């Protein structure tokens, strides 16, 4: 049996390591954006973890998600190599909502997503400029919160 749960503090190192080592960042700017997004997703608790119900510390797969301007996002989906093609990804995506969105937009795309044909399997679409827009929005929202704190209005 399995369970899908929210991220716990003990999971953070695994999430960071697996995400950063799975994404082929072509330059320092993309690496920095990736780290910033991971920081934001982990802080918001927007990570679902798939694990056996008899060992909740054994992470088999995880999914990072969010919203941007009301649009549901799949930031990243990771499943350990030996567990791929066993419906772990499908279960994680299905757990996002009992009423799945018509279209799920993806900020990162890997050769695994391509080989799974995620576009037709889960109705996931990669938008190449979406990551930059999400990062800009996160920076803008963070700046507003910082300013409100400074002004004493938060």
Per-residue pLDDT of the chain (154 residues; tens, 9 = 90+): 889 999 999 999 999 999 998 887 778 888 888 999 999 999 999 999 999 989 999 999 999 999 988 888 999 999 999 998 898 988 999 888 766 567 889 998 877 788 878 888 888 889 888 988 999 998 887 655 544 544 555 5
Task: Determine the 3-state secondary structure of 143 from DSSP.
Answer: helix
Q: What pLDDT is stored for residue 121 in this prediction?
A: 83
Q: What pLDDT is stored for residue 70 in this prediction?
A: 85
Domain assignment of residue 76, given as a range: 2-151
pTM listed for this prediction: 0.85
Q: What pLDDT is stored for residue 147 in this prediction?
A: 46
Return the CATH number at 67: 3.40.630.30
Q: Give helix then strand counts, H and E, for the chain.
A: 6, 6
Q: What pLDDT is stored for residue 75 in this prediction?
A: 94
Q: What pLDDT is stored for residue 151 in this prediction?
A: 53
Residues 6+ apart with CB under 8 A from 61: 49, 50, 77, 78, 79, 80, 83, 88, 89, 92
Query: How many distinct structural domains can be found in the chain?
Result: 1
CB 88 within 8 A of CB 49: no
Q: What pLDDT is stored for residue 149 in this prediction?
A: 44
DSSP of 27-71? SHHHHHHHHHHHHHHHHHT-EEEEEETT-TT---EEEEEEEETTE
Q: What pLDDT is stored for residue 16 in this prediction?
A: 95
Unique residue bearing structure tokens 């694990």? 51
Two tokens, residue 21:
């080592």
């Amino acid at each position: 049996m399995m369970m899908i749960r929210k991220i716990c503090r003990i999971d953070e190192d695994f999430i960071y390591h697996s995400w950063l080592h799975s994404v082929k960042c072509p330059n320092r700017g993309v690496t920095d954006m990736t780290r910033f997004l991971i920081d934001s997703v982990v802080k918001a608790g927007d990570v679902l973890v798939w694990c056996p119900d008899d060992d909740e510390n054994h992470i088999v797969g995880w999914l990072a998600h969010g919203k941007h301007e009301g649009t549901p996002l799949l930031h990243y989906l990771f499943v350990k190599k030996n567990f791929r093609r066993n419906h772990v990804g499908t279960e994680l995506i299905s757990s996002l909502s009992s009423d799945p969105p018509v279209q799920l937009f993806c900020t990162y795309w890997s050769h695994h997503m391509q080989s799974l044909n995620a576009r037709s399997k889960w109705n996931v679409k990669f938008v190449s400029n979406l990551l930059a827009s999400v990062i800009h929005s996160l920076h803008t929202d963070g700046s507003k919160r910082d300013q409100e704190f400074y002004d004493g209005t938060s």
